[in-house]
Structure 1
C-alpha cells in the first residue's frame, strides 16, 4: 500500500510539473518557470575551434550563483571525477516572462582533436548526470550532421513539442555518428514566451547535450507575447552561445565556422521583423558575407538561413533576401543553401544568376528542409524551379547531410525513417545524382505567377509580345490569384485584387487606381475577345515585377 501511495504521489507530481500551474481569468494557461538548483537545458555549441574546444551552456534558478564543468577523457570514466579538470563558468542573470533564472556558460579549451570526453555541470553540490562529447578529428574529410526544419508548435497558446521530440530523438538514434545538428529557424512558436523554450529543450534532451546545436534563428524567434510583436531575438541569443565573428549588431545571429572540409555560414534573414530595432541587417550582412566567403579555402561552402529565396508557400516571397545574398552565392560558388520557413521539402535545380543551369558545378542548390515540429501548411506547391518537391503533411522530417571528400549526399527522411529524397553532388566530376535535367524551352510562352505555371484550362491564351512589349491575358492572371476582372460594352475595365481596385478603358494608357488617376507604361488591347494588358502595367497596379527567361520561354511574375 505504501508503494502504491508513493507511486501515486510521484505520478501526481510529474503531471503537475508538465501541466499549466493555473489558468488566468481570461482562460490563458499560466506556466511555471521550471528552473531549480539542478542544472537543466544543458546545451553544446561551439564558440571557437571544434578541434580543440567545446562550449557548454545550462540553466539553474537564481539561487545558484556559481557554475562549474568537470570533464575528463572518456577513457578515464572509471575514475571520474577523480581525474577530472574543472572549469569555472560565467553566470548571466536572464529575465524571462516566467521569471528570472541564471544561464551558465563555459568553454573548454586545449582539448585533443578526435577525442571523446565525459563531463558534468553543476555548482559543486548539485551536479547533472554525466554526458559525453567528441572533438573534431584532425584532417577530417568525411563527416555527417543533421538538419532540422522548423520545430515550432504552431500555436502560441499550445506549446506542443512532442513532434519535435520524436523527430530529433529518432534522427539521432538512427544517426548516432552525427557530429552536430543545425536547426534552420523557428525553433519555437513565440521566441520571448519561455514555456515554449522549456518544452523545446526538454524534447531535445539527450541530443543537445551530446552533439553541438549550431542553430539559426527564424522570424518566430523575434515574436513576443501576448500580441506577437517583433523585437530582437533576445531569448535565443541568450541561450545559444555561438561564434561571435559576425557583423556588428548581429553577433551570434550571423556567424560562420569550419568543420572538416566545409565552411559553414549562418545568416539572419529577419529583415522585416528586425529592421525597426536593428536597421538594415541585410546590408550589414552583405559586407560581412563578402569578406567571409573571400577568406575561406574550404572546398565546400554551405549556407543556412531561415527565409527561403525559392519558396513553396502560395504567394509568400523573399525577393529582398534573394537580391541581397544571391550575387555573393554566385560569385563565390556556394554549393548548397539550406532554408526553412515554408515547411516543405524541396530541392531546386542548380541556379546561377536566378537562372537554371545544368550542373551543380555551375550554380547553387537551394534546399528547403521541411518541418521537424508540429506545424504544416495547406497551401504548398511545387514551383518551376523545383527539381524535387514533397509536402510533409503526414509527419515531420529531417535531413541527413554526409560529406565524404568530394561528395556531399543529402537524405531527406520522414520522422519514422522512411526516405523522401536522396541527392548527391560529386565535386570531382561536377555532376549530381539524380542528374540535373533543366526544364525545356517551351514552344509557346508560359505564364508563371509566384513560381506556378499556368496551363489550360487556367490559361486558354498565352502571353504575347507586341512591338517588343509583353502582354498578358489579364482575366486568367487575376483569376488565378483570386482577383476579378470585368469589362463592359463601353470598353471600360475594372480589376479588383485584394484591397486594390483599378478602373481603365480599353486602348488607354491611363487608369484610376483606388481613386487616383495615373499614367500607364502601356495601353490594353483586345484580341479575339481576350483582354490583354502590358506586363509593365501590373507593376503599376499591384506591385508585380516580372522577367522573361529566354532559355525556357517563361514569363515570370512575382512581388
Structure 2
C-alpha cells in the first residue's frame, strides 16, 4: 500500500534474516534507510515522511547483503488527495492468477501499453491465485509472473474472490483466515485516505482525485456477507462513501451484479442478492464505476440507475441514463456519458488469466458490449473531469472503451474592452472547435471583437458544448477641441484627448487629414472653417468626436472694426455694453464663443436694420478670460473681443 507520504515494501526470502531498505530520490544517493528489528522470511517495511508525487529509488538488503537495487527498483508516491492536475493511470486484473500462457500475454500487453511509464496502481478483482489462494499458489501463479512486469514499481490494491477463500468458509481446519490476509498489506486504519475499516477484507484509499473502494463479496463477517446491507462491511461502506469528497468514485469486488458470462446473475443467489441490495447503496452514493471479476469474460454496461431486476426486465430508456455506447470514438450513438447525478457503469473484467463460457441470455441486455473470446485487463485513465476505461486485450487491441465526463457543457461569461484579446479553454480535456477565433493547443483565442457575442465551442465529435458569452464594453470616445474662433491667416490649433487604446486621426474641411493628437494649421483661410472629426481606431473598434471651427473674416483694418463695434467697458467684471453699426440690412445670427471655438450662448436670430444696434451681455457667471461676440449673416461677419476680468 502507498500514499502521498508513505510506502510499504514487502518481499520474502528463502532463509530467515534481517531485512533492510535503503532509499532516496537519487539512484546514486540513497541516503535513508529502514531496518526490521527481527529475523524473518516475510519482510514488510513501511517508509514514511516522503514527498508527494515523487520518485524514490530503493535497495533491498538481507543481513546487510544486497538482494536488489538496480535502476528498476523504484516507486512513486501518490499525488496529494484531491489533486485534479495529476492524471491517474491504473490497471485492473480479474481472475488473473491462472498460470496459463494467456496470463503472461495480458501482462505483456499491459506493460507495452504503458510503455515504461509508471502504473499508478494495480487493482486485483479477486481469484488472484488459482485454485485455492494458498501462499504457494500466490508465489507461483501471481508473484513469479507479475514481478517481471510491474511489482517492483506498482502498488497492489487487491480484493478477494471465492478462490482466494478456497471456496470455503473460514475459520476451518486449515486455519483462521486465508493466506490472502497474510500476503497483502492493506490500509485498514485509513492510512491511504478514506474511513478506517478495521478489516483487511475491505478498505478504501485516495489517489489524486479518485476515491477507490475494495470490497469482499465472498467472506462472512458476523454471519453476514457483503450483499446483506446490515453487515458491518456495508455499514462501513455507507460511512466511507458519505465522507468522500473526491469527484470520482470506483468500487470493485469479485462477484458481479450483472453477468451472463461464465456465471449467471439471474440464477446465482449471491449475485442476485448483490444486485437487489448492494446496488441500491451504490446508486444512492452515486458511485461512478464498478469493477468485477468472477465471470471469465468481458461485459460492460450502459450507465445504469435503479436497475435491480433480472435481465429480461432491462429497458434502456428506464434503467440507463443514456442510450449512448459511451465509446466516444465517432461511431453512431457513441457520445460520452455526461454525469451530473446518479448513474454507474458496471464492468465485468474477469478474463485476465483465461476466458470462456456463457450462460443462457448472453450477452446480457444491460451490456453495451461483451466478449467471451479474448483475455485482457482494464485500463483506467482519469484526467481531471474525464474518466476513460479501456479493455486492453491479449492481442494488444482495445476491444472496448467508455468515457465519462463531469462538470462539462458549461456557460462561460467574460467582459472585455473593445478589441481586447480574449481566450477560453473548454470545460473538458481534449480537442475543441469553434466558428469564431483560432484554436491553439486546446485554447480558443479571439481577437478584435467590437461587439458582444454569444456562441458555442464543441469537441470535434460534436458531443460536448460550452456556451460562451462575451460582453464588449463600448469603445472609449476621444475629446476634440480647438482654439476657434480665429481670424483668417491665424494658426488653427486642434487638440485631441483619448485615454483608451488605439490611434487618433483628424479629418476636416478642405480635404484636411492628419494623424496624432495635436495638429497645427498655419495661416488658415475661410475654407478651413467647418466641422473637424477626431477619430479613434483600435483593431475593429472605432469612435469619434467633432469640433466646429469658425474662421472669422478679417475686416479691412482695425479702425473699421472699431467703428463697427464699440464695447464698454472692456475689460469688464461682468456686464458688457456693445453698440454695433449694422451696414447691411438682413437676418443676423448672434452668439458668444470661447477661445476654443465652443459656442457658449446662442442669441435669437433677428432682422436688423442698417444703423446702430445696442447689445448688453452679462458674463458674470463666466470664468475670467477672452471671449468673442459674433454677429453673422451671409454677407458679413462682425466680431468683437471681450475680456472678462
Name the TM tier (shorter chain): 0.5 to 0.7
- Of 205, 208, 233, the residue aligned with 1:285 is 233
Structure 1 residues 192, 426: CA separation in 2 closer, same or farther (over 3 Å shift)?
closer
How many residue pairs were aligned? 361
- 1:353 maps to which of 295, 303, 306: 306
CA 399–249 in structure 1, closer or farther in 2 if over 3 Å, else same: closer
CA distance in 2, matches of 1:92, 1:330: 48
In 2, the alpha carbon distance for the partners of 1:222 and 1:248 equals 23
- Give the 3-state SS of the residue equivalent to 2:290 in structure 1: strand
Counterparts of 1:280 and 1:435, CA distance in 2: 49
Partner of 2:403: 424
CA distance in 1 between counterparts of 2:380 and 2:234 reads 26
Q: Is the 8 A contact 2:102 2:375 kept in 1?
A: yes
* SS of residue paired to 1:234: coil
Equivalent of 1:89, from 6, 11, 36?
Answer: 36
Summarize the alignment of residues 237-386 of structure 1 with structure 2, pairs less than 5 Å apart. 237-245=181-189, 251-270=199-218, 274-275=219-220, 279-282=223-226, 283-312=231-260, 313-314=263-264, 315-316=267-268, 318-354=271-307, 356-359=319-322, 361=339, 362-374=342-354, 376-379=356-359, 381-386=362-367
Structure 2: state its 5+ residue gaps: 308-317, 323-336, 411-427, 429-458, 464-645
The CA deviation at 1:140 is 4.4
**How far has the Cα of 1:430 moved from its partner?**
8.3
Normalized per residue, the structure richer in helix is 1
Q: Which has the higher contact order (CA 8 A, sep 6+)?
A: 1
- Aligned residues: CA RMSD: 3.0
Using the TM superposition, give the Cα deviation of residue 340 of structure 1 relative to its aligned residue in structure 2, in angstroms. Answer: 0.6
Is 1:173 matched up with 2:85? no
C-alpha displacement of 1:52: 1.1
**How high is the TM-score relative to the length of structure 2?**
0.52
The C-alpha deviation readout for 1:168-194, integer Å capped at 9, x for no partner, is 232023213421111101011133434
| 1:245 Cα offset (Å) | 3.6
Larger radius of gyration: 2
Mapping of residues 114-129 of structure 1, within 5 Å: 114-123=53-62, 124-129=64-69
Does the CA contact (< 8 Å) of 1:245 and 1:256 recur in 2?
Answer: no
Q: Which runs of 5+ in 1 are unaligned?
A: 1-44, 94-101, 154-159, 437-559
Specify whether residues 178 and 193 from structure 1 end up closer, same or farther in structure 2 by C-alpha distance, changes over 3 A only. closer
Does residue 25 of structure 2 align to residue 67 of structure 1? no
Moved segments of 4+, more than 4 Å: 90-93, 228-233, 246-250, 430-436
Q: Match of 1:204?
A: 146
Question: Take 1:110 and 1:119, find their aligned partners in 2: how far apart are those partners?
Answer: 15
Please say if residues 90 and 104 of structure 1, whose CA atoms lie closer than 8 Å, have aligned partners that are also in contact.
Answer: no
Residue 90 to residue 203, structure 1, CA distance change in 2 (3 Å) = farther
